[in-house]
């Protein structure tokens, strides 16, 4: 079932509410975006943290305020596949729980060592869907001390926009920001003509992410015809889920803008640059021609699994999921045919960090 709303999610969220342009990264984790401007005097040297437990990944960000923004002092990311098998069973599996708790234990250790003052930890689609989601959250707290908040799709969309909107290309035309997750994809239409956070005009949350869509369309990876047929079915599923928003979108204009945050877009951007290994500094804020992203998607969708596994920046962990990501991305380009795609290696964590501080 597609979750959507109009007008947009404009809730103030948790107390905190710093507004600004972005989060500046520290040494070795640089970003081309502007630093966050703090609207109040620095509150000492507190450390703030945000954890995003998604359907596929567990991510942590720890930062301290500086004179001109936040400086990232530690980060962590691990693929945990929390939603693996969820579509069939309706539950988070025991193996997925163990993987997630292992990753969150690493996060908890980092929070202690960095003397974090304030943290916001959120869980998304897998925990929203799972019949044992609340039970899992309680176990996480018992074993790691991390209190996860299962946020709504609306809050997920809002945090993603807050975390990455600084990377939107300058312009006066309408903009679409999207987040391809493991269990869902959020599309957010924004009006970003002025300083500060953009005004959210409309949005949709579709129940298809790289994990849920992959599991919905099993196919023989060794059979080229079966691969292409499954890809077409994936495209159809996603198009149907996006249809309510697509009917409400304004007519395409020459200056429409598009910004994506997800492992899918950062991975495809790495292939566009032909990087030997992932480099956040090269990717975060990159603008890629949409034609290139479509060409890469077409190539990956027709490629055997073993060949995808050999590609730099994909490897064995992402090789089986990237095809679903390509199907979602192409479906987005179908309804919002921007000439260029902005790429963000930031999103929910950064949005939560801005809210928490």
Q: How does pLDDT run across 250-268, given as a tens digit for each residue?
A: 987 778 999 999 999 999 9
Residue 32 lies in a domain: no
Residue identified by tokens 């996480």 is 140
- 162, 212: one domain: yes
- The yes-or-no verdict on residue 65 having pLDDT over 90 is no
Please give the share of the chain, as a percent, with pLDDT higher than 70.
85
Does residue 16 sit within a domain? Answer: no
Confidence of residue 171 (pLDDT cuts 50, 70, 90): confident
Which residues, 6+ apart, have CB-to-CB distance to 304 below 8 Å? 221, 222, 224, 227
Residues 127 and 166 in one domain: no
Average pLDDT over residues 266-282: 96
Which pLDDT value is given to residue 283? 97
Q: Do 321 and 333 fall within a single domain?
A: yes
Domain span holding position 170? 154-354
The yes-or-no verdict on residue 356 having pLDDT over 90 is no
CATH number of the domain encompassing residue 286: 3.30.420.150
Q: Are residues 216 and 145 in the same domain?
A: no
How many CB atoms neighbour CB 306 within 10 A? 11
**Are residue 55 and residue 146 in the same domain, yes or no?**
yes
The set of residues, in sequence order, having a beta carbon less than 8 Å from that of 355 and lying 6+ positions away, is 13, 14, 16, 17, 18, 120, 159, 162
pLDDT at 255: 85
Q: Given the structure tokens 């204009």, which residue do they identify?
A: 253
Contacts of 292 (CB under 8 A, 6+ apart): 272
The tens digit of pLDDT for each residue in 115-161 reads 998 899 999 999 999 999 999 999 999 999 999 999 999 999 999 99
Spatial CA neighbour of 163 closest among 284, 68, 245, 279: 284
Give yes or no: residues 102 and 196 share one domain: no
Q: Domain of 103: which CATH number?
A: 3.30.420.40
pLDDT reported for residue 194: 62
Choosing from 124, 150, 176, the residue where a domain stops is: 150
Q: What is the mean pLDDT of the chain?
A: 86
Mean pLDDT along residues 183-211: 89
Last residue of a domain, one of 111, 132, 150: 150
* Residues 141 and 179 occupy one common structural domain: no
Residues 201, 225: one domain? Answer: yes
Structural domains in the chain (count): 2
Q: What is the mean pLDDT of residues 37-41?
A: 34
* pLDDT for 198: 83
The pLDDT of residue 24: 37
Please say if the pLDDT value at position 329 is more than 80: yes
Identify the residue with better confidence: 253 or 339.
339
Would the pLDDT of 14 be above 50? no
Structural domain contains residue 37: no
Of 262, 266, 292, nearest to 178 by C-alpha is 262
What is the mean predicted confidence (pLDDT) over 210-238? 93
134 inside domain: yes
User: Within this chain, do residues 180 and 83 fall inside the same structural domain, yes or no?
Assistant: no
Return the sign of the alpha-carbon dihedral for residues 107, 151, 235, 237. Answer: positive
């Amino acid at each position: 079932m597609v979750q959507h709303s109009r007008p947009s999610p404009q809730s103030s969220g948790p107390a905190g509410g710093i507004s600004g342009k972005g989060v500046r990264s520290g040494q070795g984790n640089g970003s081309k975006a502007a630093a966050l401007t703090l609207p109040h005097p620095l509150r000492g040297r507190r450390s703030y943290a945000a954890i995003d437990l998604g359907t596929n990944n567990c991510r942590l960000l720890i930062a301290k305020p500086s004179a001109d923004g936040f400086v990232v002092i530690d980060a962590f990311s691990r693929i945990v596949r929390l939603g693996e098998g969820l579509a069939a069973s309706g539950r988070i599996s025991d193996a997925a729980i163990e993987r997630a708790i292992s990753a969150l234990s690493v996060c908890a250790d980092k929070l202690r060592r960095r003397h974090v003052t304030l943290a916001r930890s959120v869980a998304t689609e897998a925990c929203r869907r799972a019949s044992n989601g609340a039970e899992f959250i309680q176990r996480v707290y018992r074993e790691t001390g991390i209190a996860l908040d299962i946020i709504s799709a609306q809050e997920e969309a809002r945090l993603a926009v807050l975390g990455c909107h600084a990377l939107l290309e300058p312009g006066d035309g309408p903009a679409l920001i999207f987040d391809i997750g493991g269990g869902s994809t959020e599309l957010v239409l924004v009006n970003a003509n002025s300083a500060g956070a953009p005004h959210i005009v409309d949005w949709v949350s579709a129940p298809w992410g790289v994990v849920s869509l992959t599991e919905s369309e099993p196919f023989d990876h060794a059979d080229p015809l079966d691969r292409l047929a499954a890809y077409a079915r994936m495209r159809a599923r996603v198009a149907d889920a996006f249809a309510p928003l697509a009917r409400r979108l304004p007519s395409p204009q020459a200056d429409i803008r598009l910004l994506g945050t997800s492992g899918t877009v950062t991975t495809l951007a790495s292939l566009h640059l032909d990087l030997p290994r992932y480099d956040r500094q090269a990717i975060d804020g990159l603008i890629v021609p949409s034609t290139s992203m479509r060409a890469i998607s077409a190539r990956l969708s027709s490629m055997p699994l073993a060949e995808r596994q050999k590609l730099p920046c994909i490897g064995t962990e992402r090789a089986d999921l990237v095809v679903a990501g390509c199907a979602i991305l192409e479906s987005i380009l179908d309804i919002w045919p921007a000439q260029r795609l902005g790429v963000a290696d930031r999103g929910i964590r950064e949005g939560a960090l801005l809210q928490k501080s």
